[in-house]
Amino acid sequence: MLDSRGSYQPDNNRFNRRYNNADYSPHLSPGSSDELRRSISLGAQQREQSNLEPTEEEGKFCVCAVFKVISLKKALPLLKTRINRSFTLSQEQAAALLACAFFCLFPYRSRLSPVKEYENFPTPNFGKLYRAGPANKVEKLKCLLHYFNRVTKKMPNGVITFQRVSLYYSQYPKWNEMDTDLCDLNMTTGRKIEEIKNVLQVDFANKYIGGGVLGHGCVQEEIRFTICPEMIVSLLVCEAMEKNECIFLIGCEQYSKYKGYGDSFKYDGDFQDNTPRDSWGRRWCHVVAIDAIYFREPSEQYHMTLVERELLKAYTGFRPIGQGLEYEFGIATGNWGCGAFHGDRQLKGID
């Protein structure tokens, strides 16, 4: 809502209703699928063949993580394209899955030779992050290691939700018939998206969610996933997005501060996330991942077919699930699809 000065004032109750009406299952326990068991076994064989001896600390961490994953009761649900689905898991379960990814225990998810079922999914293993590269890879690792240090000392007891939304063709807006006015737009240069609370925060996503977070990438999406590592679990379960799809990441906690951007990115110490939790135990942090088009030739973006594609993508992410004030909410975004994707900021602002 807007106050008397025209500034956005968040309404927690309205924002909560938008998501708690969705088809979530907070008691779903994703866990050890056949893929995980095969992966863990193969990962152990590879370590044995390479004659690598883990340190005592590494060994304890690995054994603890592997047994936590094996003890889980159900297979991880995959959020496949063209299917509206969500799942919720505990922060402890997320930590166990991330520990397996840290030790590259998902070999069947390699981009080089993926099992057919996963050929259109991002790679969740941390292997590329360990290879030589720019200095910001080391800084990303500092953030991730800090996360593991935090959760092994004191495991958080909340839950997180991932939801895939796929808009049916019958739900597409008829742009040429619409006469809706543009909404209010408040501009600021002094705050980051993640610092604006109780609004829907935008992830400038790659169609493969997470983008280059486990590789060379270090811009908006990769930085957000690095300081909020629980978001990386989405790489395990989310297939690439199509033009009419978005992915919501709800309740993921921030663990690290940072400074800089791109090549200048640096880990800047611990962050204590005091964001309140909702009735499910999720942090009041709602992020929507929407992928813009990469324009190799910038002039292409003014073609109406591509303008309508970007409009549809934004509409899918921002569309209220009902009518009335109780379904209205603020959106925190920035230069979505600009910068490296060569988008026009004025055009995207109108979108």
Q: What is the mean pLDDT of residues 77-99?
A: 96
> How far apart, in whole angstroms, are the C-alpha atoms of residue 137 and residue 225?
13
Checking if the pLDDT of 60 tops 70, the result is no
SS3 content of the chain, % helix, strand, coil (to 5): 40, 15, 45
> How far apart, in whole angstroms, are the C-alpha atoms of residue 3 and residue 232?
36
Query: In the chain, what percentage of residues exceed pLDDT 70?
Result: 77
Give the H or E element holding residue 253.
Answer: none
Q: Could you write out the DSSP letters of every residue in 95-136?
A: HHHHHHHHTT--GGG-SSS--GGGTTS----SGGGGSS--HH
For residue range 39-55, what is the model confidence (pLDDT) as tens digits? Answer: 445 444 544 554 555 55
Least Cα distance to 333 among 351, 320, 321 occurs for: 351
Q: What is the mean pLDDT of residues 323-347?
A: 89
Is the model more confident about 286 or about 30?
286
Count of Cβ atoms closer than 10 Å to residue 226 Cβ: 29
Contacts of 259-268 with CB under 8 Å at 24 or more apart are 261/218, 261/219, 261/223, 262/136, 262/218, 262/219, 263/134, 263/135, 263/136, 263/218, 264/136, 265/136, 265/139, 265/140, 265/218, 265/223, 266/136, 266/139, 267/139, 267/140, 267/142, 267/143, 267/146
Is the model more confident about 242 or about 118?
242
Does residue 88 contact residue 26 with C-beta atoms inside 8 Å? yes
> How far apart, in whole angstroms, are the C-alpha atoms of residue 201 and residue 318?
10
Average pLDDT score, the chain: 84
The Cα-based distances of 245 to 32, 57, 79, 83, 203 in angstroms read: 28, 42, 11, 9, 13
Checking if the pLDDT of 68 tops 80, the result is no
Tokens of 85: 């689905």
The Cα-based distances of 201 to 204, 238, 304, 336 in angstroms read: 10, 19, 27, 12
The answer to whether the Cα torsion of 221, 82, 34, 75 is positive or negative is: positive
For residue range 255-270, what is the model confidence (pLDDT) as tens digits? Answer: 999 999 999 999 999 9
Query: In the chain, what percentage of residues exceed pLDDT 90?
Result: 65
**What residues does each domain of the chain span?**
12-350
Checking if the pLDDT of 85 tops 50, the result is yes
For residue range 129-162, what is the model confidence (pLDDT) as tens digits? Answer: 999 999 999 999 999 999 999 999 999 999 999 9
What are residue 283's DSSP bridge partners? 277
The Cα-based distances of 44 to 34, 62, 152, 214, 325 in angstroms read: 16, 11, 22, 22, 55
Q: Which residues are catalytic?
A: 203, 221-222
Q: How many CA atoms lie within 13 A of 223 on its CB side?
A: 21
The torsion angles phi and psi of 166, rounded to 5 degrees, stand at -120, 115
Count of Cβ atoms closer than 10 Å to residue 229 Cβ: 28
Checking if the pLDDT of 79 tops 80, the result is yes
